[in-house]
Amino acid sequence: MSKQADVGDSFPAVTLTGADGEPMSVDDYAGKPLVVFFYPKDDTPGCTTENKDFSELAPQFAEAGMALLGVSKDPPAKHAKFAAKYGLVAPLASDAETGGLSDALGIWVEKSMYGRTYMGMERTTYLVDGAGKIARVWRKVKVKGHAAEVLEAARNL
Protein backbone atom coordinates (compact mmCIF):
# COMPACT_ATOMS: atom_id res chain seq x y z
CA MET A 1 0.00 0.00 0.00
CA SER A 2 1.31 3.44 -0.87
CA LYS A 3 1.48 6.37 1.52
CA GLN A 4 -1.66 8.48 1.64
CA ALA A 5 -1.38 11.79 -0.18
CA ASP A 6 -1.80 14.75 2.13
CA VAL A 7 -2.18 18.52 2.28
CA GLY A 8 0.59 20.26 0.32
CA ASP A 9 1.27 17.27 -1.94
CA SER A 10 0.76 17.59 -5.69
CA PHE A 11 -2.39 15.82 -6.81
CA PRO A 12 -1.32 12.93 -9.08
CA ALA A 13 -2.00 13.43 -12.80
CA VAL A 14 -3.20 9.87 -13.42
CA THR A 15 -5.45 9.28 -16.44
CA LEU A 16 -9.00 8.14 -15.66
CA THR A 17 -11.88 7.20 -17.96
CA GLY A 18 -14.93 9.45 -18.07
CA ALA A 19 -18.51 8.12 -18.07
CA ASP A 20 -18.44 8.73 -21.85
CA GLY A 21 -15.52 6.30 -22.19
CA GLU A 22 -13.05 9.08 -23.02
CA PRO A 23 -9.73 9.48 -21.16
CA MET A 24 -9.55 12.32 -18.65
CA SER A 25 -7.13 13.60 -16.04
CA VAL A 26 -7.04 16.18 -13.28
CA ASP A 27 -4.65 18.00 -15.65
CA ASP A 28 -7.79 18.76 -17.69
CA TYR A 29 -8.74 21.09 -14.83
CA ALA A 30 -5.34 22.83 -14.65
CA GLY A 31 -5.59 26.32 -13.19
CA LYS A 32 -9.03 25.66 -11.74
CA PRO A 33 -9.66 24.51 -8.17
CA LEU A 34 -11.21 21.06 -8.03
CA VAL A 35 -13.09 18.83 -5.60
CA VAL A 36 -12.40 15.13 -6.23
CA PHE A 37 -14.60 12.80 -4.21
CA PHE A 38 -13.86 9.07 -4.16
CA TYR A 39 -16.66 6.67 -3.29
CA PRO A 40 -16.88 2.86 -3.19
CA LYS A 41 -19.67 1.90 -5.61
CA ASP A 42 -22.36 3.35 -7.90
CA ASP A 43 -26.01 2.90 -6.95
CA THR A 44 -25.49 1.93 -3.30
CA PRO A 45 -27.27 3.96 -0.58
CA GLY A 46 -24.37 6.02 0.82
CA CYS A 47 -22.74 6.58 -2.56
CA THR A 48 -26.03 7.59 -4.16
CA THR A 49 -26.69 10.10 -1.37
CA GLU A 50 -23.16 11.53 -1.65
CA ASN A 51 -23.42 11.94 -5.43
CA LYS A 52 -26.89 13.50 -5.20
CA ASP A 53 -25.66 15.94 -2.52
CA PHE A 54 -22.69 17.07 -4.64
CA SER A 55 -24.94 17.37 -7.72
CA GLU A 56 -27.49 19.41 -5.77
CA LEU A 57 -24.75 21.83 -4.66
CA ALA A 58 -23.01 21.90 -8.08
CA PRO A 59 -24.29 25.43 -8.92
CA GLN A 60 -22.81 26.77 -5.64
CA PHE A 61 -19.51 24.98 -6.31
CA ALA A 62 -19.47 26.58 -9.79
CA GLU A 63 -20.17 30.01 -8.22
CA ALA A 64 -17.14 29.43 -5.98
CA GLY A 65 -15.08 28.71 -9.15
CA MET A 66 -14.76 25.03 -8.21
CA ALA A 67 -15.04 22.00 -10.51
CA LEU A 68 -16.36 18.65 -9.24
CA LEU A 69 -15.29 15.11 -10.08
CA GLY A 70 -16.60 11.86 -8.58
CA VAL A 71 -14.40 8.76 -8.85
CA SER A 72 -14.94 5.05 -8.20
CA LYS A 73 -13.70 1.78 -9.70
CA ASP A 74 -17.02 1.23 -11.52
CA PRO A 75 -16.82 1.02 -15.35
CA PRO A 76 -17.83 4.02 -17.52
CA ALA A 77 -21.12 2.45 -18.70
CA LYS A 78 -22.19 1.92 -15.08
CA HIS A 79 -21.32 5.56 -14.28
CA ALA A 80 -23.40 6.77 -17.24
CA LYS A 81 -26.39 4.66 -16.13
CA PHE A 82 -25.99 5.81 -12.50
CA ALA A 83 -25.81 9.49 -13.51
CA ALA A 84 -28.86 9.18 -15.78
CA LYS A 85 -30.90 7.33 -13.14
CA TYR A 86 -30.41 10.04 -10.50
CA GLY A 87 -29.89 13.14 -12.69
CA LEU A 88 -26.33 13.58 -11.41
CA VAL A 89 -24.48 16.59 -12.79
CA ALA A 90 -21.05 16.15 -11.18
CA PRO A 91 -18.87 14.35 -13.76
CA LEU A 92 -17.95 10.76 -12.87
CA ALA A 93 -14.73 8.96 -13.75
CA SER A 94 -13.58 5.35 -13.59
CA ASP A 95 -10.37 4.46 -11.83
CA ALA A 96 -10.45 0.82 -12.84
CA GLU A 97 -6.76 0.24 -13.48
CA THR A 98 -4.45 -1.32 -10.95
CA GLY A 99 -1.88 1.34 -10.12
CA GLY A 100 -4.51 4.03 -10.81
CA LEU A 101 -5.31 7.28 -9.04
CA SER A 102 -6.74 5.71 -5.87
CA ASP A 103 -3.56 3.59 -5.58
CA ALA A 104 -1.39 6.69 -6.08
CA LEU A 105 -3.35 8.48 -3.33
CA GLY A 106 -3.19 5.50 -0.96
CA ILE A 107 -6.99 5.16 -0.64
CA TRP A 108 -7.45 1.74 -2.32
CA VAL A 109 -7.18 -0.12 0.98
CA GLU A 110 -7.83 -3.43 2.67
CA LYS A 111 -11.28 -3.44 4.24
CA SER A 112 -13.11 -5.96 6.38
CA MET A 113 -16.80 -6.82 6.59
CA TYR A 114 -18.48 -9.85 8.16
CA GLY A 115 -15.06 -11.39 8.81
CA ARG A 116 -14.08 -11.17 5.14
CA THR A 117 -11.19 -8.95 4.02
CA TYR A 118 -11.13 -7.38 0.58
CA MET A 119 -9.69 -4.37 -1.26
CA GLY A 120 -11.97 -1.35 -1.49
CA MET A 121 -12.18 2.40 -1.92
CA GLU A 122 -11.85 4.45 1.26
CA ARG A 123 -14.46 7.21 0.93
CA THR A 124 -12.17 10.26 0.68
CA THR A 125 -12.54 13.80 -0.69
CA TYR A 126 -9.74 16.10 -1.88
CA LEU A 127 -9.87 19.85 -2.33
CA VAL A 128 -7.22 20.67 -4.95
CA ASP A 129 -6.13 24.27 -5.53
CA GLY A 130 -5.59 25.86 -8.94
CA ALA A 131 -1.88 24.98 -8.80
CA GLY A 132 -2.70 21.25 -8.47
CA LYS A 133 -1.75 21.02 -4.78
CA ILE A 134 -3.95 19.29 -2.20
CA ALA A 135 -5.43 22.02 0.00
CA ARG A 136 -7.62 19.81 2.21
CA VAL A 137 -8.40 16.11 2.70
CA TRP A 138 -11.44 14.44 4.24
CA ARG A 139 -10.78 10.78 5.09
CA LYS A 140 -13.28 8.03 5.94
CA VAL A 141 -16.08 10.43 5.03
CA LYS A 142 -19.48 10.25 6.68
CA VAL A 143 -21.92 11.21 3.92
CA LYS A 144 -24.49 13.27 5.86
CA GLY A 145 -23.65 16.98 5.49
CA HIS A 146 -20.32 16.23 3.78
CA ALA A 147 -20.95 18.02 0.46
CA ALA A 148 -22.02 21.19 2.32
CA GLU A 149 -18.89 21.04 4.49
CA VAL A 150 -16.70 20.70 1.38
CA LEU A 151 -18.53 23.62 -0.26
CA GLU A 152 -17.78 25.81 2.80
CA ALA A 153 -14.08 24.89 2.60
CA ALA A 154 -14.08 25.50 -1.17
CA ARG A 155 -15.48 28.98 -0.66
CA ASN A 156 -12.60 29.71 1.74
CA LEU A 157 -9.84 28.38 -0.53
- The C-alpha atoms of residue 155 and residue 95 are separated, in whole angstroms, by 27
Active site residues: 47
- The C-alpha atoms of residue 43 and residue 81 are separated, in whole angstroms, by 9
Three-state secondary-structure class, residue 3? coil
Backbone angles phi, psi at 73, to 5 degrees: -85, -5
Sign of the torsion angle spanned by Cα atoms 94, 151, 87, 50: positive
